[in-house]
Amino acid sequence: MRAVIVAAAVAFIISLFGTPVAIRVFTALKAGQPIRSIGLASNQGKKGTPTMGGVVFIVATVFAYVAGHIALTTLPERQIAQEGPTMTALVLLGLFVFCGAVGFFDDFLKVRRRNSDGLSAKGKLLGQAMVGGGFGVAALYVPSSDGQTVASEHISLIRDISWLDVGKIGAVLVIVFVIMAMSNGVNLTDGLDGLATGASILVLSAYALIGFWQYRHWCADDAYARVNEYCYQVRDPLEIAMIAAAAAGACVGFLWWNTSPARIFMGDVGSLGLGALIGGLAVATRTTLLSIMIGGLFVIITTTWVIQIVSFRTTGRRVFRMVPLHHHFELAGWSEVNIVVRFWIVAGVCVAVGLGLFYSDFLAVVG
């Protein structure tokens, strides 16, 4: 627990005090957020607000992970279950950094061209697919000394579903889909001040709890496995908990400056990176299907966006006033703060239900 707390605290401090520096730097570089002319009139006042703030919490998370590992060296020998950096950390942080890099390139093009046309949709999807595929292969084909891999060849809910074996190639495709779905889900959610940041904090905190719970009931811990047959077959769960907690702490520090009225936006560098990390956490903790509930807000916003596109292209009619969904409620007369807080509540309920399902599985076996 000490390492997890240290990682979260270090990330929070770096992000809290590093974000104002980023605001000044990006303002001096004139890296302001372009706003679409066809968008909501209420958003035009945000034009020029510094963007690319996601760089701060990505950097903070990486440094915090290192700090967490330093804290690990002070623990009793039996508790140090892995020595880093592990393949789990390389996969999760790699997804965070490299999908963030795809978003950074998109943001850079927007700022350079002084409009909202950055990287093309196909180019962005291709970049996400390449990153997801590369780290998916590493997660499946690079085992630890005891043969454990970061990802599994099975589809998982709360643990691997034994009869849903899709093979290595199928598993890589599943990983790519999960990474792209979550990455774009967070990206679509990032439209109002603090909305995506706050929702991501809740989801990342849930995965920090899941990772630590799996560490305390880990099959690789001989002291636990000898007295209880119910354990989690995952690789490096303490690493998972540290990275999730560090990312959550970094987002809390960033939210101080990102909440309404935002002084800086996370940009695609932040939203694409966060979504990829959340997808990676789902794969690493063997909770791929459960992530649909834990990241429920992102799923809802993505689903309504798909419904709108399909409906308009097939019937010429719109189901919602505007997508993503939060803009629908803006046009309905809700204030930005009301939308953000209520969507946070939805995200919190989804996380609570997801954690409840996760824990109920444990109770069903040990009870």
Question: Each residue's pLDDT tens digit in the chain (367 positions)?
Answer: 888 999 999 999 999 999 999 999 998 888 776 766 555 655 656 777 898 999 999 999 999 999 988 877 665 544 444 555 789 999 999 999 999 999 999 999 888 877 667 788 899 999 999 999 999 999 999 887 777 899 999 999 999 998 899 999 999 999 999 999 999 999 999 989 999 999 999 999 999 999 999 998 888 766 665 556 678 889 999 999 999 999 999 999 999 999 989 999 999 999 999 999 999 999 999 999 999 999 999 999 999 999 999 999 999 899 999 989 999 999 999 999 999 999 999 999 999 999 999 999 888 776 5
Residues making up the annotated binding site are: 187, 268
Rounded distance, CA 50 to CA 208, Å?
A: 30
Partners of residue 160 on adjacent β-strands: 156
Concatenating the DSSP letter of every residue in 117-161 gives --S-HHHHHHHHHHHHHHHHHHHHH---TTS--SS-SEEESSSEE
Burial bucket for residue 138 (CB in 10 Å: 0-12, 13-18, 19+): middle
The whole-angstrom distance between residue 135's C-alpha and the CA centroid of its chain comes to 15
Residues making up the annotated binding site for Mg(2+) are: 187, 268
The whole-angstrom distance between residue 290's C-alpha and the CA centroid of its chain comes to 14
Domain segments of the chain as ranges: 1-364
The whole-model pTM stands at 0.94
Answer whether 74's CB lies under 8 Å from 2's CB.
Answer: yes
Confidence at residue 143, expressed as pLDDT on a 0 to 100 scale: 87
Confidence at residue 30, expressed as pLDDT on a 0 to 100 scale: 82
